[in-house]
Amino acid sequence: MARPSIVPIALILDDRTGYTLWAPPWEEDGEEWQAFLGTSEGDTATVHLFPTPAALAAFCRTATDHDLADHPVWPVVAGLGAADLTPDDDHRYDLDGVYDIAAENPDRWAVEELAATVDIVSRLAECLDTGGVDDAPTVGSRVVEPDTDTDDADTDAADLDDDETEFPALAELVARPEIGSLGLGVEAFVGRSGEDAWGGVGGALDDLWEDVLEELSGHLDWTGAGTTTLDAYPSVADDEDLDDEDDTADDTRDGAPAGATAVGTVGSQETVAPGSDGSGDRPAAGSTAAAPAEAATAGVSTIRGGSRITATPAAVAAAAEFWEAVGILPVELVVPDGAGVTLRCYVEDVARFLGRDGEVWLFDTPADLARFLAGDEEHDLTEIASWPEVADTDTLPLPAEQDRYDLTELGELLAEVSGGAAGLVDHGVLAQPVEGVRDVAEYAGLSRVEELLAPSAPLGRAVAIGEREPGTPLRAEDAGPLRAAWDEVVAQVSGALVFRD
């Protein structure tokens, strides 16, 4: 059994593409679980769908009232951007296209695509069905009975084979032997008997698929838990055209030719685009085992882009006792060039950093910083009265959460808002990163940063709104200019940072 992970998926239905998250089966406390991003509030369990990965990412960053909130790797997913929550080709399921696939010759790709589509619909039904299971769990807490030797198709049929199920058409479909043969791969459809079996697949879909979709549609929330409307969804053709344009632009920016291998990670699950040197193979039909979610065990470092801090909260709290006592605190800064740790204190309410001549010195890890502190190089903190205690301590300089400033994350959020996630991100997200850049700007004498954050400037006005009413949503039309100003702020601050060996 794989360790817990969460995978972005796309469902294509009624000429719309909806983006959501699926947690493949994992074992916890001796039981096997799987889940989707959704909620069981009310009489009907639902899966939340979003018109873009950006809208999905923004929801994940801000929402906690859903059934994946307690998943072991949810803290990692909540910090990911739109690019990380864009499904790969193997996790895009065209529910509208099954008839076209069944009309093709039964080659490897057709068989596996149909098998994968039936499999994901069956898994959705398993998690959404409250009629056929006693004390039925819901979208985010589906228990799958462990220790079965049957294949996935047989398991799906057993799970759904109940007079009380809310998905009788699907139960009938997966019970058809021809549909079960999809799990055997293309070899099941070779020769005359295989041709008959493939014809049986098409016949079963003709008989039941529309009813299956009708059953499923009542459980699909296309409003993204009330954050969007149907008008926000482009047609599938328009969406594919936009994806092609984005792919071409990305390839040009990256210096890679179209069709080059694309690798992405979510919860440390690596997926390789079909046709790449990563075998190009679609997972075997019915296969849902995900790669281990190593990120879940790496402390807070996986939540923030380039962070290298892996200390536990308990270790950070223990270290804080010393650093708060000496009045000099460890600080982490994350910028596009990398992440580093430094020290900061306040002298007569003016920020002062470990550095010299307006340069802030950053070290890759707390251990690297600690080795430097034991040396005798002069800097702007040497004259602080408590410095001898700092130079003599063996307490690692571990930044507390409130002293960690990811300056890249705010830019990603603003991009998501301008890209269609308006209303899901509020002005309160500005507070912490702005605090960090103001301190650096004060120490380094960055007058341009002060201009961009002035009350009369757009970014300064947005910060002021965040201070007065932090829950005020950011508007899409404001996010673009704010991002441009923030990018300039980050560039100015980055120029004052010096990464030390």
- How far apart CA 276 and CA 273 sit, in angstroms, is 6
pLDDT at 362 over 80: yes
Q: Which residue has the tokens 């696939």?
A: 101
If one compares 4 and 106, the residue with the highest pLDDT of the two is: 106
Residues 84 and 266: beta-carbon distance below 8 Å: yes
pLDDT at 425 over 50: yes
pLDDT at 148 over 70: no
Best mean pLDDT range from 38-42, 253-257, 354-358: 354-358
pLDDT at 257 over 50: no
What pLDDT sits at residue 109? Answer: 87
Condensed to tens digits (0 to 9), the pLDDT of residues 430-464 reads 999 999 999 999 999 999 999 999 999 999 999 99
Burial of 36-45, coded b for 16+ CB within 10 Å and e otherwise, reads bbbbbeeeeb
- How far apart CA 327 and CA 309 sit, in angstroms, is 21
pTM across the whole model: 0.51
pLDDT at 134 over 50: no
Condensed to tens digits (0 to 9), the pLDDT of residues 173-209 reads 999 999 999 988 888 898 888 899 999 999 999 999 9
pLDDT at 85 over 80: yes
| Three-state DSSP class for residue 246 | helix
- How far apart CA 366 and CA 345 sit, in angstroms, is 17
What pLDDT sits at residue 327? Answer: 94
Condensed to tens digits (0 to 9), the pLDDT of residues 401-424 reads 899 999 998 998 898 888 877 667
φ, ψ (nearest 5 deg) of residue 12? -105, 120
Condensed to tens digits (0 to 9), the pLDDT of residues 212-224 reads 999 999 999 999 9
Domain boundaries, the chain: 7-272, 300-501
Cβ neighbours of residue 100 closer than 8 Å, sequence gap 6 or more: none
Q: Residue 65 has which token pair?
A: 């009232």
φ, ψ (nearest 5 deg) of residue 382? -60, -35
Condensed to tens digits (0 to 9), the pLDDT of residues 273-291 reads 223 333 333 322 222 222 2
- How far apart CA 325 and CA 214 sit, in angstroms, is 64
pLDDT at 269 over 60: no
User: What letter represents residue 209's amino acid?
Assistant: W
pLDDT at 256 over 80: no
Angle made by CA atoms 443, 445, 446, in degrees to the nearest 5? 115
Which whole number is the average pLDDT over 76-98? 90
What pLDDT sits at residue 289? Answer: 27
Q: What is the mean pLDDT of the chain?
A: 80
pLDDT at 151 over 70: no
User: What letter represents residue 476's amino acid?
Assistant: A
pLDDT at 250 over 60: no
pLDDT at 330 over 80: yes
If one compares 57 and 32, the residue with the highest pLDDT of the two is: 57
- How far apart CA 172 and CA 329 sit, in angstroms, is 64
Helix locations, 278-419, DSSP H = 313-326, 366-373, 387-392, 407-416
What pLDDT sits at residue 278? Answer: 34
CA 123 remoteness from chain centre:
21
What pLDDT sits at residue 306? Answer: 54
- How far apart CA 202 and CA 182 sit, in angstroms, is 12
- Band (pLDDT 50/70/90 cuts) for residue 241 is low
Percent of the chain with pLDDT over 70: 77
pLDDT at 244 over 60: no
What pLDDT sits at residue 302? Answer: 24
- Band (pLDDT 50/70/90 cuts) for residue 311 is confident
pLDDT at 132 over 50: no
Which whole number is the average pLDDT over 396-402? 92
Cβ neighbours of residue 423 closer than 8 Å, sequence gap 6 or more: 227, 473
Q: Which residue has the tokens 């006005």?
A: 461
